[in-house]
Protein backbone atom coordinates (compact mmCIF):
# COMPACT_ATOMS: atom_id res chain seq x y z
CA UNK A 1 0.00 0.00 0.00
CA UNK A 2 1.40 3.45 -0.91
CA UNK A 3 2.68 5.31 2.14
CA UNK A 4 0.49 8.35 1.47
CA UNK A 5 -2.69 6.23 1.39
CA UNK A 6 -1.64 4.50 4.59
CA UNK A 7 -1.02 7.87 6.23
CA UNK A 8 -4.59 8.85 5.35
CA UNK A 9 -6.31 5.57 6.32
CA UNK A 10 -4.74 5.02 9.74
CA UNK A 11 -5.90 8.36 11.27
CA UNK A 12 -9.33 7.91 9.62
CA UNK A 13 -9.70 4.46 11.19
CA UNK A 14 -8.62 5.80 14.60
CA UNK A 15 -11.07 8.68 14.28
CA UNK A 16 -13.88 6.24 13.37
CA UNK A 17 -13.05 4.02 16.34
CA UNK A 18 -12.96 7.07 18.64
CA UNK A 19 -16.34 8.36 17.39
CA UNK A 20 -17.99 4.95 17.73
CA UNK A 21 -16.77 4.73 21.33
CA UNK A 22 -18.09 8.24 22.10
CA UNK A 23 -21.43 7.34 20.54
CA UNK A 24 -21.67 4.11 22.58
CA UNK A 25 -20.99 6.04 25.80
CA UNK A 26 -23.67 8.62 24.92
CA UNK A 27 -26.26 5.91 24.19
CA UNK A 28 -25.42 4.11 27.43
CA UNK A 29 -25.63 7.32 29.46
CA UNK A 30 -29.06 8.04 28.00
CA UNK A 31 -30.36 4.51 28.66
CA UNK A 32 -29.00 4.00 32.19
CA UNK A 33 -31.48 6.11 34.23
CA UNK A 34 -34.47 4.29 32.73
CA UNK A 35 -32.78 0.92 33.19
CA UNK A 36 -31.80 1.54 36.80
CA UNK A 37 -35.16 2.97 37.90
CA UNK A 38 -37.20 0.29 36.09
CA UNK A 39 -39.82 -1.44 38.25
CA UNK A 40 -42.12 -3.45 35.97
CA UNK A 41 -43.74 -5.31 38.89
CA UNK A 42 -44.72 -2.00 40.51
CA UNK A 43 -46.17 -0.75 37.21
CA UNK A 44 -48.44 -3.76 36.60
CA UNK A 45 -52.21 -3.46 37.09
CA UNK A 46 -53.53 -5.02 40.30
CA UNK A 47 -53.65 -8.75 39.75
CA UNK A 48 -51.73 -11.97 39.75
CA UNK A 49 -48.81 -12.16 37.35
CA UNK A 50 -45.99 -14.61 36.80
CA UNK A 51 -42.59 -13.98 35.33
CA UNK A 52 -40.75 -17.03 34.04
CA UNK A 53 -37.18 -16.78 35.33
CA UNK A 54 -36.26 -20.32 34.31
CA UNK A 55 -38.20 -22.65 32.02
CA UNK A 56 -35.53 -25.30 31.54
CA UNK A 57 -34.10 -28.32 33.31
CA UNK A 58 -30.69 -29.67 34.39
CA UNK A 59 -29.95 -30.48 30.74
CA UNK A 60 -27.76 -27.60 29.45
CA UNK A 61 -29.94 -25.26 27.38
CA UNK A 62 -28.72 -21.93 26.03
CA UNK A 63 -32.30 -20.60 25.82
CA UNK A 64 -33.61 -21.73 29.20
CA UNK A 65 -32.32 -21.48 32.77
CA UNK A 66 -33.10 -23.90 35.58
CA UNK A 67 -36.61 -23.75 37.09
CA UNK A 68 -37.83 -20.51 38.66
CA UNK A 69 -41.20 -18.76 38.54
CA UNK A 70 -41.71 -15.34 40.11
CA UNK A 71 -45.33 -14.85 41.20
CA UNK A 72 -46.30 -11.19 41.50
CA UNK A 73 -49.37 -10.55 43.70
CA UNK A 74 -50.09 -6.86 44.03
CA UNK A 75 -46.69 -5.32 44.79
CA UNK A 76 -45.10 -8.41 46.32
CA UNK A 77 -43.04 -11.11 44.62
CA UNK A 78 -43.02 -14.77 45.69
CA UNK A 79 -40.37 -16.87 43.98
CA UNK A 80 -41.14 -20.55 43.34
CA UNK A 81 -37.83 -22.44 43.14
CA UNK A 82 -34.51 -20.81 42.34
CA UNK A 83 -32.41 -22.86 39.97
CA UNK A 84 -29.06 -21.85 38.53
CA UNK A 85 -29.25 -18.59 36.54
CA UNK A 86 -32.57 -17.67 38.25
CA UNK A 87 -31.42 -14.40 39.78
CA UNK A 88 -29.60 -13.42 36.56
CA UNK A 89 -32.81 -13.88 34.56
CA UNK A 90 -34.84 -12.18 37.33
CA UNK A 91 -32.55 -9.16 36.92
CA UNK A 92 -32.67 -9.30 33.12
CA UNK A 93 -36.43 -8.94 33.47
CA UNK A 94 -35.70 -5.79 35.51
CA UNK A 95 -37.60 -7.16 38.51
CA UNK A 96 -36.50 -5.64 41.81
CA UNK A 97 -35.12 -8.17 44.31
CA UNK A 98 -36.22 -5.98 47.23
CA UNK A 99 -39.82 -6.82 46.31
CA UNK A 100 -39.23 -10.52 47.11
CA UNK A 101 -41.33 -11.51 50.15
CA UNK A 102 -40.40 -15.19 50.19
CA UNK A 103 -39.07 -18.14 48.21
CA UNK A 104 -41.17 -21.31 48.07
CA UNK A 105 -39.35 -24.52 47.19
CA UNK A 106 -41.22 -27.40 45.56
CA UNK A 107 -38.52 -30.01 46.33
CA UNK A 108 -34.78 -30.18 46.75
CA UNK A 109 -33.36 -31.38 43.44
CA UNK A 110 -30.30 -29.31 42.55
CA UNK A 111 -31.93 -27.66 39.52
CA UNK A 112 -34.53 -26.10 41.84
CA UNK A 113 -32.20 -24.80 44.54
CA UNK A 114 -28.91 -24.05 42.73
CA UNK A 115 -29.58 -20.29 42.48
CA UNK A 116 -30.92 -19.80 45.99
CA UNK A 117 -27.76 -18.25 47.44
CA UNK A 118 -27.55 -15.66 44.70
CA UNK A 119 -31.27 -14.84 44.98
CA UNK A 120 -30.89 -14.20 48.74
CA UNK A 121 -27.75 -12.13 48.22
CA UNK A 122 -29.36 -9.93 45.56
CA UNK A 123 -32.38 -9.23 47.77
CA UNK A 124 -30.17 -8.51 50.79
CA UNK A 125 -28.04 -5.81 49.19
CA UNK A 126 -30.65 -4.35 46.80
CA UNK A 127 -32.01 -2.03 49.44
CA UNK A 128 -30.46 -3.00 52.80
CA UNK A 129 -33.07 -5.66 53.58
CA UNK A 130 -34.21 -5.50 57.20
CA UNK A 131 -35.11 -9.20 57.40
CA UNK A 132 -33.54 -12.44 56.25
CA UNK A 133 -35.10 -14.06 53.18
CA UNK A 134 -37.94 -16.40 54.15
CA UNK A 135 -37.71 -19.79 52.45
CA UNK A 136 -40.78 -22.01 52.72
CA UNK A 137 -40.79 -25.64 51.75
CA UNK A 138 -41.69 -29.13 52.85
CA UNK A 139 -39.61 -30.98 55.44
CA UNK A 140 -35.94 -30.74 54.47
CA UNK A 141 -35.98 -27.03 53.60
CA UNK A 142 -34.14 -26.32 56.88
CA UNK A 143 -31.20 -28.49 55.79
CA UNK A 144 -30.96 -26.65 52.46
CA UNK A 145 -31.17 -23.24 54.13
CA UNK A 146 -28.65 -24.16 56.86
CA UNK A 147 -26.23 -25.31 54.16
CA UNK A 148 -26.56 -22.14 52.11
CA UNK A 149 -26.23 -19.94 55.19
CA UNK A 150 -22.98 -21.69 56.06
CA UNK A 151 -21.68 -21.56 52.48
CA UNK A 152 -22.36 -17.80 52.25
CA UNK A 153 -21.24 -16.86 55.79
CA UNK A 154 -17.78 -15.68 54.78
CA UNK A 155 -19.09 -13.85 51.71
CA UNK A 156 -21.65 -11.86 53.72
CA UNK A 157 -19.08 -11.01 56.40
CA UNK A 158 -16.76 -9.58 53.73
CA UNK A 159 -19.59 -7.51 52.25
CA UNK A 160 -20.64 -6.05 55.61
CA UNK A 161 -16.99 -5.24 56.39
CA UNK A 162 -16.55 -3.62 52.97
CA UNK A 163 -19.82 -1.66 52.58
CA UNK A 164 -20.85 -1.17 56.23
CA UNK A 165 -23.85 -2.18 58.32
CA UNK A 166 -26.08 0.50 56.79
CA UNK A 167 -25.77 -1.03 53.31
CA UNK A 168 -25.20 -4.71 54.09
CA UNK A 169 -26.68 -5.31 57.59
CA UNK A 170 -25.19 -8.45 59.11
CA UNK A 171 -28.43 -9.19 61.00
CA UNK A 172 -30.40 -9.73 57.77
CA UNK A 173 -27.85 -11.66 55.73
CA UNK A 174 -28.91 -15.13 54.64
CA UNK A 175 -32.20 -16.94 54.93
CA UNK A 176 -34.64 -18.40 57.47
CA UNK A 177 -36.33 -21.73 56.79
CA UNK A 178 -40.08 -22.15 57.28
CA UNK A 179 -40.79 -25.87 56.91
CA UNK A 180 -44.32 -27.19 56.67
CA UNK A 181 -45.91 -30.62 56.52
CA UNK A 182 -49.38 -31.88 55.78
CA UNK A 183 -51.63 -33.08 58.61
CA UNK A 184 -52.09 -36.85 58.79
CA UNK A 185 -54.27 -38.02 55.92
CA UNK A 186 -54.15 -34.60 54.20
CA UNK A 187 -52.55 -33.83 50.83
CA UNK A 188 -52.62 -30.04 50.98
CA UNK A 189 -52.45 -27.13 53.39
CA UNK A 190 -52.43 -23.33 53.35
CA UNK A 191 -48.84 -22.13 53.87
CA UNK A 192 -49.22 -18.36 53.45
CA UNK A 193 -52.01 -15.84 53.87
CA UNK A 194 -50.97 -12.20 53.52
CA UNK A 195 -51.85 -9.09 51.52
CA UNK A 196 -54.95 -10.70 50.00
CA UNK A 197 -52.91 -13.68 48.80
CA UNK A 198 -53.49 -17.29 49.84
CA UNK A 199 -50.86 -19.89 48.95
CA UNK A 200 -51.79 -23.56 49.22
CA UNK A 201 -49.18 -26.30 48.99
CA UNK A 202 -50.27 -29.70 47.69
CA UNK A 203 -48.61 -33.08 47.27
CA UNK A 204 -47.29 -34.19 43.87
CA UNK A 205 -45.58 -37.42 42.74
CA UNK A 206 -41.88 -37.04 41.92
CA UNK A 207 -40.68 -40.18 43.67
CA UNK A 208 -37.98 -40.90 44.80
CA UNK A 209 -37.71 -37.13 45.40
CA UNK A 210 -40.02 -36.84 48.40
CA UNK A 211 -41.55 -34.76 49.73
CA UNK A 212 -42.45 -32.84 46.57
CA UNK A 213 -45.18 -30.24 46.32
CA UNK A 214 -46.83 -27.78 43.97
CA UNK A 215 -48.35 -24.43 44.93
CA UNK A 216 -51.65 -22.73 44.19
CA UNK A 217 -51.84 -18.92 44.45
CA UNK A 218 -55.24 -17.23 44.91
CA UNK A 219 -55.46 -13.45 44.84
CA UNK A 220 -58.64 -11.36 44.56
CA UNK A 221 -60.49 -13.91 42.45
CA UNK A 222 -57.57 -14.91 40.16
CA UNK A 223 -55.55 -18.10 40.53
CA UNK A 224 -52.33 -19.69 39.31
CA UNK A 225 -50.94 -23.17 40.00
CA UNK A 226 -47.25 -24.09 39.71
CA UNK A 227 -46.84 -27.86 39.53
CA UNK A 228 -43.21 -28.32 40.52
CA UNK A 229 -41.85 -31.61 39.17
CA UNK A 230 -44.43 -34.38 38.90
CA UNK A 231 -46.00 -37.08 36.82
CA UNK A 232 -49.73 -36.79 36.15
CA UNK A 233 -51.07 -36.35 39.67
CA UNK A 234 -54.65 -36.59 40.97
CA UNK A 235 -53.80 -34.35 43.93
CA UNK A 236 -52.58 -31.69 41.47
CA UNK A 237 -55.79 -31.95 39.46
CA UNK A 238 -57.83 -31.58 42.65
CA UNK A 239 -55.80 -28.59 43.87
CA UNK A 240 -55.88 -26.93 40.43
CA UNK A 241 -59.62 -27.19 39.87
CA UNK A 242 -60.96 -24.06 38.22
CA UNK A 243 -57.63 -22.19 38.30
CA UNK A 244 -57.05 -19.52 35.65
CA UNK A 245 -53.56 -20.75 34.73
CA UNK A 246 -51.67 -23.99 35.31
CA UNK A 247 -47.88 -23.97 34.91
CA UNK A 248 -46.89 -27.62 34.51
CA UNK A 249 -43.61 -29.41 33.95
CA UNK A 250 -43.38 -31.33 30.67
CA UNK A 251 -40.88 -33.78 29.19
CA UNK A 252 -41.15 -35.18 25.68
CA UNK A 253 -40.11 -38.81 25.89
CA UNK A 254 -40.01 -39.08 22.07
CA UNK A 255 -37.56 -36.20 21.65
CA UNK A 256 -35.50 -37.24 24.66
CA UNK A 257 -35.08 -40.67 23.07
CA UNK A 258 -33.12 -38.99 20.26
CA UNK A 259 -30.65 -37.62 22.83
CA UNK A 260 -30.53 -40.94 24.64
CA UNK A 261 -29.77 -42.88 21.44
CA UNK A 262 -27.07 -40.41 20.41
CA UNK A 263 -25.52 -40.59 23.90
CA UNK A 264 -25.48 -44.39 23.81
CA UNK A 265 -23.98 -44.44 20.29
CA UNK A 266 -21.25 -42.07 21.46
CA UNK A 267 -20.42 -44.37 24.37
CA UNK A 268 -21.87 -42.15 27.12
CA UNK A 269 -23.75 -45.00 28.76
CA UNK A 270 -24.26 -43.27 32.14
CA UNK A 271 -25.83 -40.25 30.48
CA UNK A 272 -28.04 -42.48 28.32
CA UNK A 273 -29.32 -44.37 31.37
CA UNK A 274 -30.04 -41.14 33.28
CA UNK A 275 -32.10 -39.94 30.31
CA UNK A 276 -34.09 -43.18 30.47
CA UNK A 277 -34.58 -42.83 34.25
CA UNK A 278 -35.89 -39.24 34.21
CA UNK A 279 -38.86 -40.15 32.02
CA UNK A 280 -40.57 -41.92 34.94
CA UNK A 281 -40.95 -38.88 37.20
CA UNK A 282 -41.98 -36.06 34.86
CA UNK A 283 -45.26 -35.58 33.01
CA UNK A 284 -45.29 -35.50 29.21
CA UNK A 285 -46.93 -32.52 27.43
CA UNK A 286 -49.92 -34.82 26.77
CA UNK A 287 -50.24 -35.69 30.47
CA UNK A 288 -49.92 -32.03 31.47
CA UNK A 289 -52.70 -31.27 28.96
CA UNK A 290 -54.83 -34.05 30.48
CA UNK A 291 -54.30 -32.53 33.95
CA UNK A 292 -55.30 -29.09 32.64
CA UNK A 293 -58.44 -30.48 30.97
CA UNK A 294 -59.48 -32.57 33.98
CA UNK A 295 -58.93 -29.65 36.37
CA UNK A 296 -60.90 -27.36 34.03
CA UNK A 297 -58.22 -24.65 34.18
CA UNK A 298 -58.41 -21.63 31.89
CA UNK A 299 -54.92 -21.86 30.32
CA UNK A 300 -51.79 -24.00 30.40
CA UNK A 301 -48.11 -23.08 30.20
CA UNK A 302 -45.57 -25.90 29.87
CA UNK A 303 -42.28 -25.42 31.65
CA UNK A 304 -39.27 -27.47 32.82
CA UNK A 305 -38.94 -28.07 29.09
CA UNK A 306 -37.09 -31.33 28.35
CA UNK A 307 -35.22 -31.75 26.09
CA UNK A 308 -34.01 -28.31 24.87
CA UNK A 309 -35.73 -27.06 21.70
CA UNK A 310 -32.93 -25.25 19.81
CA UNK A 311 -35.00 -25.19 16.60
CA UNK A 312 -38.47 -23.59 16.78
CA UNK A 313 -39.83 -26.28 14.46
CA UNK A 314 -39.24 -28.82 17.25
CA UNK A 315 -42.10 -27.26 19.25
CA UNK A 316 -44.70 -29.24 17.27
CA UNK A 317 -43.08 -32.63 17.92
CA UNK A 318 -42.54 -31.58 21.57
CA UNK A 319 -46.25 -30.82 22.04
CA UNK A 320 -47.43 -33.99 20.27
CA UNK A 321 -51.22 -34.14 20.66
CA UNK A 322 -51.33 -31.86 23.73
CA UNK A 323 -53.39 -29.24 21.87
CA UNK A 324 -56.07 -31.81 21.09
CA UNK A 325 -56.17 -32.94 24.71
CA UNK A 326 -56.47 -29.40 26.09
CA UNK A 327 -58.18 -26.92 23.80
CA UNK A 328 -57.71 -23.75 25.87
CA UNK A 329 -54.72 -21.40 25.46
CA UNK A 330 -51.54 -23.49 25.66
CA UNK A 331 -48.00 -22.10 25.60
CA UNK A 332 -44.49 -23.45 25.87
CA UNK A 333 -42.98 -21.12 28.46
CA UNK A 334 -39.86 -19.12 27.62
CA UNK A 335 -37.49 -17.36 29.99
CA UNK A 336 -38.63 -13.74 30.17
CA UNK A 337 -42.35 -14.52 29.72
CA UNK A 338 -44.86 -12.49 31.73
CA UNK A 339 -48.36 -13.92 32.18
CA UNK A 340 -50.88 -11.41 33.52
CA UNK A 341 -54.20 -12.11 35.24
CA UNK A 342 -55.77 -8.76 36.02
CA UNK A 343 -58.23 -8.52 38.91
CA UNK A 344 -61.80 -8.49 37.59
CA UNK A 345 -60.84 -10.08 34.26
CA UNK A 346 -60.98 -13.63 32.91
CA UNK A 347 -58.11 -13.55 30.42
CA UNK A 348 -54.49 -14.63 30.71
CA UNK A 349 -52.25 -12.30 28.68
CA UNK A 350 -48.71 -13.27 27.67
CA UNK A 351 -45.94 -10.77 26.96
CA UNK A 352 -42.19 -10.65 27.62
CA UNK A 353 -40.14 -8.71 30.15
CA UNK A 354 -36.89 -9.07 28.24
CA UNK A 355 -35.88 -5.77 26.72
CA UNK A 356 -33.25 -5.26 24.08
CA UNK A 357 -30.74 -2.45 24.06
CA UNK A 358 -27.18 -1.57 24.80
CA UNK A 359 -27.51 -2.73 28.41
CA UNK A 360 -30.99 -4.25 28.47
The nearer residue to Zn ion, 265 or 280, going by C-beta atoms, is 280
Least spacing, CB of residue 103 vs Zn ion, in Å: 16
The nearer residue to Zn ion, 65 or 298, going by C-beta atoms, is 65
Beta bridge partners of 306: 251
Least spacing, CB of residue 113 vs Zn ion, in Å: 10
Least spacing, CB of residue 286 vs Zn ion, in Å: 19
Judge whether 102 and 136 are in contact, CB under 8 Å.
yes
Beta bridge partners of 60: none
Residues of this chain that bind Zn ion (CB under 5 A): 109, 111, 229
Q: Residue 241, Cα to own-chain centre: how many angstroms?
A: 23
The nearer residue to Zn ion, 120 or 213, going by C-beta atoms, is 213
Judge whether 103 and 136 are in contact, CB under 8 Å.
yes
Burial of 203: CB neighbours in 10 Å, binned 0-12, 13-18, 19+: buried
Judge whether 204 and 226 are in contact, CB under 8 Å.
no
Least spacing, CB of residue 13 vs Zn ion, in Å: 51
The nearer residue to Zn ion, 99 or 248, going by C-beta atoms, is 248
Q: Edge-to-edge strands of the sheet including 188-194?
A: 188-194, 197-203, 213-219, 222-226, 245-251, 299-306, 330-332
Least spacing, CB of residue 58 vs Zn ion, in Å: 7
The nearer residue to Zn ion, 229 or 335, going by C-beta atoms, is 229
The nearer residue to Zn ion, 101 or 229, going by C-beta atoms, is 229
Least spacing, CB of residue 111 vs Zn ion, in Å: 4
Cβ neighbors of 157 (< 8 A, separation 6 or more) are 170
Amino acid sequence: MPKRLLAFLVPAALTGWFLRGRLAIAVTKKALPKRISADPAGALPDGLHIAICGSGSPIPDEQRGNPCVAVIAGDAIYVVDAGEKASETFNRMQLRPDRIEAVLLTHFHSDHIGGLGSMALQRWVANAASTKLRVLGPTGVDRVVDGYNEAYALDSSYRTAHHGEAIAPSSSAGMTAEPFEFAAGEKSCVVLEEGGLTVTAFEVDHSPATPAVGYRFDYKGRSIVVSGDTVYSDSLVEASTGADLLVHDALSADLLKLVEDASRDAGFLNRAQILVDVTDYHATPAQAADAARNAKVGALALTHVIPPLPIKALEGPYLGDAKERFTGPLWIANDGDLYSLVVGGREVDRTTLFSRGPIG
